[in-house]
Amino acid sequence: MTTTEAPRPAIRPERESFRPVLRAEWTKFRTIRGRLIGLGIAVVLCTTFTFLVANGTHEGTCTGTGSTCQSGHPYVATGPDGEAVADSYQFVGQPLTGNATITVRVRSLTGVTSANSTDTAPSLAHTRPSLAAWAKAGILLRPSTAQGSPYAAVMATGAHGVRFQYDYTHDQAGRPGTVSVASPRWLRLTRTGDTLTGYDSADGTAWTKIGTAHLAGLPSTVQVGLFVTSPVSFEGSGSGFATQATAAFDHVSQGARGAQGTWREQSIGVQDFYPKLPGGGYHRTGGSFVLRGSGDIAPAVVEGLLGTATPSSSVLTGLIVGLIAIIVVAAMFITVEYRRGMIRTTFAATPRRHRVLAAKAVVVGGVAFVVGTLAAAVAVPIGEHVLKANGAYVFPAGASTMVRIIAGTGALVAVTAIAVLAVGTIVRKSAGAVTAGIVVFVLPYIVGSSMSGGAEQWLFRLTPAAGFSVLGALPRSAQVDYPYTLANGYYPLSWWAGLAVLCAYAALALGVAAVTLRRRDA
Amino acid sequence: MIDVSGLRKRFGPTVALDGMTFTVAPGTVTGFVGPNGAGKSTTIRVILGLDAPDEGHALIGGKPYARLPHPLHHVGALVDAAALQPGRTGRNHLLWLAHSQGMSAGHVDTAIELVGLGRAARRKAGGYSLGMRQRLGIAAAMLGDPPVIIMDEPFNGMDPEGIIWMRGLLRSLAAEGRAVLVSSHLMGELQGIADHVVVVGRGRVLANARVEDLVARASDDQVRLRTSAPDDAAAVLHRAGTAATVADAYTVTVSGTPAQRVVEVLGRAGVPFSEVTAHRATLEEVYLRLTGGEAEYQAGTPHQEARR
């Protein structure tokens, strides 16, 4: 060995200084075999618990027609984007070829609401007059009446004014106000190629454009006609009540040919999952049409009918168990160094202590992300498969939602691990850090998910439990009135907002950890 | 190479460092001795940037430790050989340290060879004896081939063979031109290897000198007299104006008078004596004399210096 007073030329500290620290921390992490085994166990536990939970879930969905809950579920249509949709309505229509303009006047729109909740058989004998806010009556155009197929419609609604809607999820508002004999609504739908445009008018002369839809690949001959539908009403209560709407139309004109073709009546979706009041129908007196119907043309949300099963709904227990394992690994990644005094060796090797913290955060966060993503990628499909095999209705999730759930789980685990690492840096004791990690990052979820009454909504907004929003996969829609509460399976925050709340906690913990590291003797 | 100047530090009501000042020159082994609680470990932690002093500074080659890029290339330190994660092999312990300094696994194998850890390096450190841990700690200190070596109590827990090896290693490191600082609470461990000693107590430097000078100063012409009549001998010597004390039933210690003169005085008075030897103090005695009033724990020889 030779004496060297000056730094060697091979060392370029200022520029490269983070990489060696990162590499050192990774070497530290991977050279403890117990840690790697622990991570493997976390994945196995998460998957096992997911399987057990899914396997223990046997109830199917209530059909809403009076039968009790049982295995198996009635048909739920799937929309153009793969989403679950309600597509049931009273329809009277005819085929139409080529470009056209359809005009109609809605003279009245009234409704009734069942007195019995959807748990019991609905009957027209037990109703009260009440029009659902999203009762719809208007012009519907679609390539076929197959449930879930594309469509465009211009309609009067119970409480949302005139709307132009297409393909279940798209909605544009027209003239506000309710329909009455004194104040009827004129509706118009034009087709030009695959472009559909909705208009409304108060007098049938001055027309206002509401919106335009492009239905790609629309065939030359389509079904067009009048429709009425009326969705389940929740009116603030947990249980739903089937409704029925009655609409009177006149001044029906269909382009140059007039409304003189053969009208054919259809009740669409009678046998599907959606609860309806019986007695829908249609009668025509000269140029006046009266339609009565029940159902909805909108995204299907839980609606108290479909159950809350999603591809990710069985993962929770397994995720909690896996998360606790990760919390232990993350906390001990630094607390063990304090316990053994090895932290001095670490800080003697890297006097810039915040770099050590950053490197540890990158290593433990990266590992936790991989482990969490891997566990979710294994557990989520297993859970979904078992749920379906047990007859539960599982809300379909698109590929992007699946990717978000799986990667989001990885992110949830990673951010939690980084935050717990910071807590470990602050408290320096394994038991304290693990306890604090569980209390702060797991307990709010457990408490919140077993609470009711509204306070839990705040737990899922303000505490690290918000991070669990990444698992949220239940559909929600502005076009469906439903109490989207935690009790009904909906997280109050969107997945990214929930993750942001968790990130804020992690950032806070990291900041405090960096300050204590700088101020404290090692 | 190491420049410690005016360090002061309190831990609550306890004064740990009270103006600690010394330097360590290249090519020497400097012993850093003092009773437990004297502030040795705290000083070393301050030098390594682990503890922040309230006042004063510690520099390595003119820079504070924290400003050294890849510090293990500048300073190798063995602070606490037990500071290992038991589940990791010795070699992997050195590997992460090497990686933290941008070094490769090749340096690790060189260091393992240097300390003679051999095949044990691939076993988990949890199963190491204290001596093996010391060797691993020294390998860690030597990893970056640094010009400054700092060792806190390196002889602790070493077997005799290890102690001999350690002494040889320290000497050869200094011979290569490195600045070597070795702390110990046992002066005897440093006799024969330290060129220089810094004796500390209660956070201050009590003596800072070459070993030769320190021993000579403490010996101050002591003469040991073996006699069957110690009281007579002492009385005679007193009358002749010489400081003499009866050490035990056969021994009288005389100071400030050469052996020649003692023999003359006793011969004239006819006091019998069998042996007169000029006494040379051991480093241990020097140390005890210096630290006698400073030791916080006079009895026993605790192995670990109390921290904080």
* Strand runs labelled E in chain B: 2-11, 14-24, 29-33, 55-60, 63-64, 75-78, 148-152, 179-184, 196-201, 204-210, 222-226, 243-248, 251-255, 275-279
CATH number of the domain where residue A109 is located: 2.60.120
Q: Which residue among A243, A267, A299 closes a domain? A: A299
What pLDDT does residue A120 have? 73
Residues 29-88 of A with CB under 8 A from B: 31-34
Domain co-membership, A409 together with A436: yes
pLDDT tens digits, one per residue of A35-67: 899 899 999 999 999 999 888 876 544 443 433
Q: Is A336 on the interface with B (CB under 8 A)?
A: yes
Domain co-membership, A326 together with A280: no
Residue B191: CB atoms within 10 A of its CB come to: 17
- Check residues A369 and B260 and name the one with the higher pLDDT: A369
Domain co-membership, A143 together with A276: yes
Is residue A10 one of the residues assigned to a domain?
no
Total length of chain A: 522
pLDDT tens digits, one per residue of B76-105: 999 888 899 999 999 999 999 999 999 999
Domain co-membership, A215 together with A320: no
Q: Report the number of distinct structural domains present in chain A.
A: 2
Q: Which residue among A239, A269, A299 closes a domain? A: A299
Domain boundaries, chain B: 2-210+285-291, 217-281
Mean pLDDT computed over every residue of chain B:
86
Question: How far is Cα B291 from Cα B184, in angstroms, rounded to an integer?
Answer: 13
Region of residue A394 (left: phi > 0; alpha: psi -120 to 50; beta: else): beta
Question: How far is Cα B255 from Cα B271, in angstroms, rounded to an integer?
Answer: 18
pLDDT tens digits, one per residue of A80-96: 988 899 999 999 999 98
Are residues A7 and B178, on separate chains, in Cβ contact within 8 Å? Answer: no
Please give the average per-residue pLDDT across A238-243, as a whole number. 84
Residue A206 is part of which domain span? 77-299
Domain co-membership, A404 together with A423: yes
- Residue whose C-alpha is closest to residue A391's, from A323, A299, A306, A301: A306
Question: How far is Cα A55 from Cα A72, in angstroms, rounded to an integer?
Answer: 15
| CATH 3.30.70 applies to domain B217-281 | yes
To the nearest 10 degrees (0 to 180), the angle between helices A495-519 and A353-389 is 150
B2-210+285-291: CATH number = 3.40.50.300
Is residue A225 one of the residues assigned to a domain?
yes
The pairing of beta strand A288-293 with beta strand B179-184: unpaired
- Residue whose C-alpha is closest to residue A419's, from A461, A351, A357, A469: A357
Is residue A71 one of the residues assigned to a domain?
no
What pLDDT does residue A72 have? 66
What pLDDT does residue B91 have? 96
Q: What is the DSSP string of B136-204?
A: HHHHHHHTT--SEEEEESTTTT--HHHHHHHHHHHHHHHHTT-EEEEEES-GGGGTTT-SEEEEEETTE
pLDDT tens digits, one per residue of B35-72: 888 899 999 999 999 999 999 999 999 999 999 999 99
pLDDT tens digits, one per residue of B252-282: 888 777 778 888 888 888 888 888 887 777 7
What pLDDT does residue A119 have? 72
**What are A508's two structure tokens?**
């806070």
Predicted ipTM of the assembly: 0.83
Q: What is the DSSP string of A275-302?
A: ---S--EEEEETTEEEEEE--EEEE---
Are residues B49 and A17, on separate chains, in Cβ contact within 8 Å? Answer: no
Question: How far is Cα B248 from Cα A521, in angstroms, rounded to an integer?
Answer: 51
- Burial of A430 from C-beta contacts in 10 A (0-12 / 13-18 / 19+): middle
3-class DSSP assignment, residue A448: helix
Which residue of B93, B100, B124 is the best one to mutate when testing the A interface, meaning the one whose CB has the most A CBs within 10 A?
A: B100
**What are A260's two structure tokens?**
């003189």
| Side-chain-side CA neighbours of residue A49 (13 Å) | 19
Q: Which residue among A299, A330, A363 closes a domain? A: A299
Is residue A72 one of the residues assigned to a domain?
no
Question: How far is Cα B173 from Cα B152, in angstroms, rounded to an integer?
Answer: 16
Report CA torsion sign: B48, B49, B55, B59: positive
A5 contact residues in B (CB cutoff 8 A): 61, 147
* Residues B23, B28, B32: CA angle, nearest 5 degrees: 55
Domain co-membership, A293 together with A414: no
B73 contact residues in A (CB cutoff 8 A): 4, 7-8, 11
| Side-chain-side CA neighbours of residue A163 (13 Å) | 23
What pLDDT does residue B302 have? 40
